[in-house]
Structure 1
Amino acid sequence: MPESDTQRTPRPLISLTWTDHVTGRQGHLVVDRLVRGVASGGLRMREGCTLDEVAGLARGMTMKEALHYDADEPTARYIPLGGAKGGIDCDPRAPEAYGVLVRYLRAMRPYIESFWTTGEDLGLTQDVVDRAAAEAGLVSTVQAVYPLLDDEAAARRRLADAFAVVVDGIGLDELVGGCGVAESVLAALDRVGTGRAGTRVCVQGFGTMGGATARFLSRAGLRIVAVADVKGTIANPDGLDVEALLAARDAFGTVDRAALRPGDAELPGEAWLSADAEVLVPAAVSYAIDGVNQARIRARWIVEAANMPVLPEAEALLADRGVTVLPDVVVNSGTNAWWWWTLFGDIGADADEAFAYTRRAMRGLIGLMLARAEADGTTPRAAAHAIVAERLPVMAERFGWYG
């Protein structure tokens, strides 16, 4: 007799490790769950990336997809997929990195063509992924979803047009995720009646997600008092010039220090942990906040723009100190959802429409999660898990695992 969805063990459907025959570097793919025969999740590249890390990220993608499923929204064209993730153990700045990426994609081609839709994640940009995918012989990194589209040609044109949209010097695809993170912050602050003006924010990581988050929060009236990149922490209690810092970034989110103003201080790398700010946004690597360094945090809110930045033992200790963690599975889900809203036709290739749709969706999810946490007497993460646990069986019954 087959196991029910609630009895099934949390092991992923597929978990594999690839070894590059040229460099010996390893890459991983984990498919946590399929819905309609397809799973969604990006590809990251970083030194030290492990199979366990990728498995955790794949589980997170399953949750993100489920959280954006609304069975009561009859007009939505996008129906969520399953969750997956890829990872390559290599420094993206290394000379051999691009060749490793191309060979990884060649090896994963059967999976990408059949059921894994992927895109940029930590260490990679979408243009690099697309270029490598073309060299690997792929039509697209999201081609597995094409059979689910009503009009494939129109959908592909719409997504290509959306990726061509630039807002104040930054591509729309690089902004929507940060828009979602920023709206998560604003929704949480609004819920407890905290004013935006004067609320201080520290952002760790100034790449795609961190940079866009800083822009949207700054434009909403919050004060960005510190940002951190691989060179260290830049701080100014009166507020940083976010636009100038964005303009001075390289492709990896590192800020040229020549752009700093006289009042901007250069501090050690981990100074971001103890920044004097109400909101802390970890937007870089996983496992950044552990059971030891959490004691340095002074913020009231931690908003996970990165995937898995707060370790469980750290989160428990932070909760004991009255620090609320808004979890990654909700906060940073906007980028993934935007891809599908656009491809399936819920929105067009328009920045204002994309931002409005993202803000509405994220504000709704944050409100639902925080209300559930309050009602259950749990953390926001536990509330998000509870919502997912209720939605997954409904999705499985309606759409099936394998289509």
Structure 2
Amino acid sequence: MTAPHLSLTWTDHVTGRQGFLVVDRLVRGVCSGGLRMRDGCTAAEVAGLARGMSMKEALHYDPDARYVPLGGAKGGIDCDPRDPAAYGLLVRYLRAVRPYVESCWTTGEDLGLSQDLVDRAAAEAGLVSSIQAVYPLLPDEAAARARLADAFAVEVDGLGLDELVGGCGVAESVLTALDRAGVPYAGTRVALQGFGTMGGATARFLTRAGLSVVAVADVKGTLANPAGLDVEALLAARDGHGTVDRAALRPGDRELPGGAWLSADAEVLVPAAVSWAVDPGNQEQGRARWIAEAANMPVGPRAEELLHARGVTVLPDVVVNSGTNAWWWWTLFGDIGPDADGAFAHVRRSMRTLVERVMSRADADGTTPRAAAHALAEDRLAAIAERFPPHR
């Protein structure tokens, strides 16, 4: 593994809090990766996420597409997003890294931050856009920006298209795994950790495909119902951080401790919140056959080894949650239009093809889906580097 292209740590002069930026690599002088905010965020965490972004970008490389994957990067701020000082800290961080956003780093929402909040803070920090570094690569900047703005204005049953595409990709990854195993959707149970943008959208798409969501964990605990939760009612009762108003619960719904999602009687687990949620100490609690990583790095390496040894398949984050990032660029570069039907169709087709390829390679190599995804990403990174040689 090569060293990142750039790694920096910033200390806020007002709060003493730290922020981080890691550029894993550049392609055509540009990189892509979201900005997260959480209490306890570290430089090592951001570096791992940046490396993952390089792989997510590469895995969607299609030499015939208009969108050519960018390099990978990630930003992080060590602060609870609910802290009253969080927004001012975000603005100061963006002012500090403004030269990188202007020249090479395209960024957007990630854990703890919404796109609306990033956009507002970016404007206050003096930026044209959080993705302005990619503009010089666009054949028609005005048309591309209008197309992306139109896409962000689309709503489907009360949720924004930008909120839904990532969950659509996660759900399609799960459905592809079920299809490969010959498991019917009806009767398949799902437990999720996290009910924010990614977790909520994933729950919607899986229930509409016929699966049953039997447990959902948020910061207040786990909501469970072995007969299935009313996902749409819970979505309507969320706050901006994905916390469900308990007044929306039905008589058969139960409130359990926060960690109960992991031991739920379900075939599929979807960790869609924090990193390292599944570790060597708690992995044995899981009863599921599949774990789909909707969050970044939710399953620790040693935990994954133990899960693999007992027949649990971990569908890796670099594949499963890559749909949102790819949708941004497919839309901006013009591979798809700003409509929901076209976006969902493209995400489903692309994710199914990618998951099939990764799982087939894992079977052929006798390894895990993560190892297969990393190998495929390295192949594609080499192809991208050959087409667009790095600047010396």
Asked if TM exceeds 0.5, the reply is yes
Give the aligned residue type for 2:45. E
Pairing partner for 1:194 from 166, 180, 183: 183
- Does residue 1:91 correspond to 2:85, yes or no? no
Runs of 4+ in 1 over 4 A off after TM superposition: none
Pairing partner for 1:114 from 103, 119, 133: 103
- Deviation digits for residues 163-188 of structure 1 (CA, Å, limit 9, x no counterpart): 00011000000000000000000011
Q: Which residue of 2 aligns with 1:10?
A: 2
Q: Which residue of 2 aligns with 1:62?
A: 54
- How far the C-alpha of 1:243 sits from its partner, in A, is 0.1
Q: Which residue of 1 aligns with 2:377?
A: 388
Q: Which residue of 2 aligns with 1:311?
A: 300
Q: Which residue of 2 aligns with 1:208?
A: 197
| SS of residue in 2 equivalent to 1:348 | coil
Give the aligned residue type for 1:387. L
Alpha-carbon distance in 2 for matches of 1:167, 1:19: 40
| SS of residue in 1 equivalent to 2:262 | helix
Give the aligned residue type for 2:49. L
Pairing partner for 2:117 from 128, 133, 138: 128
Alpha-carbon distance in 2 for matches of 1:160, 1:107: 26
Q: What percent identity do the matched residue pairs reach?
A: 79
CA RMSD, Structure 1 to Structure 2 (Å): 0.8
- Does residue 1:52 correspond to 2:44, yes or no? yes
Q: Which residue of 2 aligns with 1:347?
A: 336
Alpha-carbon distance in 2 for matches of 1:394, 1:354: 26
Q: Which residue of 2 aligns with 1:240?
A: 229
- Deviation digits for residues 45-93 of structure 1 (CA, Å, limit 9, x no counterpart): 000000000000000000000100023xx2x110000000000000000
Structure 1 contact 38–402 (Cα < 8 Å) conserved: no
Alpha-carbon distance in 1 for matches of 2:295, 2:390: 28
| SS of residue in 2 equivalent to 1:274 | coil
Alpha-carbon distance in 2 for matches of 1:10, 1:66: 16
Q: Which residue of 2 aligns with 1:6?
A: none
Q: Which residue of 2 aligns with 1:35?
A: 27
- Does residue 1:23 correspond to 2:15, yes or no? yes
Pairing partner for 1:298 from 271, 275, 287: 287
- How far the C-alpha of 1:350 sits from its partner, in A, is 0.1
- How far the C-alpha of 1:401 sits from its partner, in A, is 2.5
| TM-score normalised to structure 2 length | 0.99
- How far the C-alpha of 1:402 sits from its partner, in A, is 4.0
| SS of residue in 1 equivalent to 2:97 | helix
- Between Structure 1 and Structure 2, how many residues are aligned? 392
Give the aligned residue type for 1:290. D
Where does structure 2 lack aligned partners over 5 or more consecutive residues? none
Alpha-carbon distance in 1 for matches of 2:101, 2:383: 26
Alpha-carbon distance in 1 for matches of 2:167, 2:259: 22
- How far the C-alpha of 1:10 sits from its partner, in A, is 1.9
| TM-score normalised to structure 1 length | 0.97
Give the aligned residue type for 1:170. L
Alpha-carbon distance in 2 for matches of 1:171, 1:390: 34
- Does residue 1:227 correspond to 2:219, yes or no? no
Q: Which residue of 2 aligns with 1:4?
A: none
Give the aligned residue type for 1:17. T
Alpha-carbon distance in 1 for matches of 2:343, 2:376: 25
- How far the C-alpha of 1:146 sits from its partner, in A, is 0.3
Alpha-carbon distance in 1 for matches of 2:213, 2:70: 35
Give the aligned residue type for 1:67. L
